[in-house]
Amino acid sequence: MKLSKLLKQKLLNDEIVKDSFSEEDIERIAKVLEEFLSSETIDEEVCYNFYKEMKLPYSIVYRSFGLIKEEIKDKQIREKLNKLLNITAKVYIKKEISSLKTLILQKQKHDFLLFKAHEEWIEQIVKAVKNDNLKDFPIVDAKKCKFKKYLSYLESLMICLDVNLCVYIHDLHNLIHTLANSFYVFYKKGYYAESYFVFRDLKEQILKFYNTLNELYMATFTNIEKSFFDLIEILVKSKTLYVAVIDLKNLKTMNSLFNENTVTNAKIILYNKLHNIYKDKKNFLLIQGSSNDFYFIGTDIDFHTFEKEIDHIHKVICETIEINGEKINFDGAIFGIKLDRYTQIQIKDLINYFRFLKQAAKEEHKNIILNNKENHLEDWIKNQIDIKFIKEKIEKKEIDVMFQPIFTAKDNEVFSLEALGRIVDKGKLIPAGMFIDHIYSMNKIAEFDMVVLDKILEKEHLIKQITNRIFLNISFEALKNDEYIKKLNMIIKKIDVDIVLELTEQRFVENLELIESINKNTNTYFAVDDFGSGYSSILLVINLLRRDMIRVLKIDGTLVKGLKDDEFLKKAIKIIVGFRKEFDLHLVAEFVEDKETLEFLKDAGVDLLQGYYLSMPKTIEELLIEKEERIREIVN
């Protein structure tokens, strides 16, 4: 039988091939295949033009060749058929390679950082393949890709608040580079059929990658203000931040003077000017809110640099914008604040604080207000908290407990957890510093401490999975309260966790009988907090030592905070270490907030360490998750 007839018959007998083409197309394919197989050489250009004209999916071509190979017994023809299939695959790759570039252009609707990361890389791939010049093919490891670098930029950190999606996109990114590099290896060796299938997979994964990126950006910019402040909440746990809100003034007046569309378009031009200043800067972020405000974050800078950036932003805002024959002159009020690392705030309080600064700017007729005062935000928030609000929270027992680990200096194991009472408000936990003074002034501290005891008992089974010991701050008022003492005795007897009571107030020095009574009744022991802050604490320690009621000293936080640049404080710490060794006590250093302080304290002989550098206060559930993650890391 003539080869073309055999080929045609085989193709017509296959349902998939037959449904894809007309009988006339199949006949033509069969004839062309016969010509190719009969000729001594295979002309790549002729092959390219034929398949370009026919517009056949490669999967159909691949299946057709497989069907034909079943009927051909001649070894030389089979080899030629394999070669033809391979050349055809190369044709398809060259025909489709530009779709990678089209793909990225379709998805890149805005000048977003993560979309831009692969622009040049994809262009180089397309160019290298189209020009048959693999010397220009970009072999890039995923770890060295621009995308990896851009992930640490503030814009990217704001986009990647959805952890699950970000893990997925990270995995996709690694896969894309693996596929691209595999494609290069196959293509360079002339394995075009294999290259084509890798290419198709590469294209599919790139599409998934950009679709996921699109989801991330859409989710972020749907509620951009929330995303911005969520980013602040995360960043402030590890960095000092400089945050500003930029308010465009007198927009109603401008809308009445000019066409509203003109003003809107002028705002777009202004935003683009500001965005272009910061879009490629790792430690700055400027975004436009859904209202007329712009928002700014700077990290890894000092206050002087912050001031310079804000001045520059204000100058740009005031520059004349010419549009539709009109000259638009915006004016802006900018108010900003320094947020020290580890600042514990609720976002609603920060937003209200910016409103307060905005009002202050109006009243003082200022265009720029930048606040660099230490604890100014915390003091302002304290003044906003209503005493009635706190009273209601205590009466309704809307109180929870967070725990801050105390670690051993020797092997970084959890020695104990310190229990810290928090007021619960709309699912958020308010730090004690924001309300504790009000609780004392209302004489509610014993009532507050009793709820804390109940919460500790409630979480006993979880606490025991981390430690068999907790530290508990105790007030003088609580120890004088019979109801509190009764509850404390009950919980100490009931709970299978040792409780160490922390003493801080000077009044304990004058009432040692009270401490001794609790020691006898509860069989517990004490830790002296803020040791080194005055003669009273030393006297308290001596008297407790005489009665064998003390096991732990906690160094006054101001000594630890300032020791990095103070040789006298370092000597004082060493003296306190000598004191603890003399009396065989544990010594806890609080406020460990950087590596340098940590290393000094270890070398000095402090045996227990606590601070935000090691762990911030967390819920017991968060600490258990961290423990499980550490175990998995060790196992892996």
pLDDT in tens, 123-149: 999 999 999 899 999 999 999 999 999
Percent of the chain with pLDDT over 90: 44
For residue 143, tell me if it sits in a domain: no
**The predicted structure's pLDDT at residue 384:** 79
For residue 212, tell me if it sits in a domain: no
> What is the rounded distance in angstroms from the CA atom of residue 84 to the CA atom of residue 69?
12
Q: Which two tokens stand for residue 292?
A: 């007329």
Q: What is the pLDDT of residues 511-550, one digit of tens each?
A: 788 888 888 877 788 998 888 776 556 877 888 898 888 9
Residue where a domain stops, chosen among 335, 359, 381: 381
For residue 141, give Cα distances in angstroms to 68, 146, 181, 185, 409. Answer: 40, 10, 8, 14, 39
Q: Decide if pLDDT at 582 tops 70.
A: yes
The answer on 182 and 49 residing in a single domain is yes
For residue 376, tell me if it sits in a domain: yes
Q: Decide if pLDDT at 380 tops 90.
A: no
Q: Decide if pLDDT at 627 tops 70.
A: yes
- Taking residues 491-500, report their average pLDDT: 91
For residue 141, tell me if it sits in a domain: no
The answer on 307 and 440 residing in a single domain is no
The answer on 624 and 591 residing in a single domain is yes
The answer on 539 and 488 residing in a single domain is yes
The answer on 499 and 626 residing in a single domain is yes
- Per DSSP, 301 falls in state -
Which CATH number goes with the domain that contains 248? 3.30.70.270
User: Which residue matches tokens 């200096």?
Assistant: 409
The answer on 177 and 92 residing in a single domain is yes
The answer on 370 and 402 residing in a single domain is no
The answer on 372 and 418 residing in a single domain is no
Percent of the chain with pLDDT over 70: 86
- The pTM assigned to this predicted structure is 0.75
Please count the structural domains in the chain: 3
Mean pLDDT of the chain: 86
Q: Decide if pLDDT at 13 tops 50.
A: yes
**The predicted structure's pLDDT at residue 204:** 93
**The predicted structure's pLDDT at residue 5:** 67
**The predicted structure's pLDDT at residue 519:** 84
Comparison of pLDDT for 504 and 467, the residue scoring more = 467
Q: Which domain covers residue 377, as residue numbers? A: 223-381
Q: What is the pLDDT of residues 42-67, one digit of tens each?
A: 666 666 666 666 566 677 677 666 66
The answer on 542 and 466 residing in a single domain is yes
**The predicted structure's pLDDT at residue 179:** 96
> What is the rounded distance in angstroms from the CA atom of residue 34 to the CA atom of residue 402?
79
Q: Decide if pLDDT at 201 tops 90.
A: yes
Q: How confident is the model at residue 167 (pLDDT cuts 50, 70, 90)?
A: confident
CA angle 62, 67, 72 (to 5 degrees): 115
Cβ-based neighbours of 100, under 8 Å, separated by 6 or more:
122, 125, 126, 202, 203, 206
For residue 145, tell me if it sits in a domain: no
The answer on 343 and 260 residing in a single domain is yes
For residue 206, tell me if it sits in a domain: no
The answer on 399 and 361 residing in a single domain is no
Q: What is the pLDDT of residues 69-103, one digit of tens each?
A: 666 677 777 777 778 778 888 888 988 898 888 77
Q: What is the pLDDT of residues 608-626, one digit of tens each?
A: 999 999 999 999 999 999 8
The answer on 346 and 317 residing in a single domain is yes
Q: Decide if pLDDT at 191 tops 80.
A: yes
Q: Which two tokens stand for residue 233?
A: 């909440």
- Taking residues 443-459, report their average pLDDT: 93
Do 159 and 217 contact (CB within 8 A), yes or no?
A: yes
**The predicted structure's pLDDT at residue 48:** 63
Q: Decide if pLDDT at 1 tops 50.
A: no
For residue 151, tell me if it sits in a domain: no
For residue 444, tell me if it sits in a domain: yes
Residue where a domain stops, chosen among 340, 363, 381: 381
Q: Which two tokens stand for residue 577?
A: 């270490």
Name residue 459's amino acid.
Answer: K
Q: How confident is the model at residue 376 (pLDDT cuts 50, 70, 90)?
A: confident
Q: Decide if pLDDT at 349 tops 90.
A: no
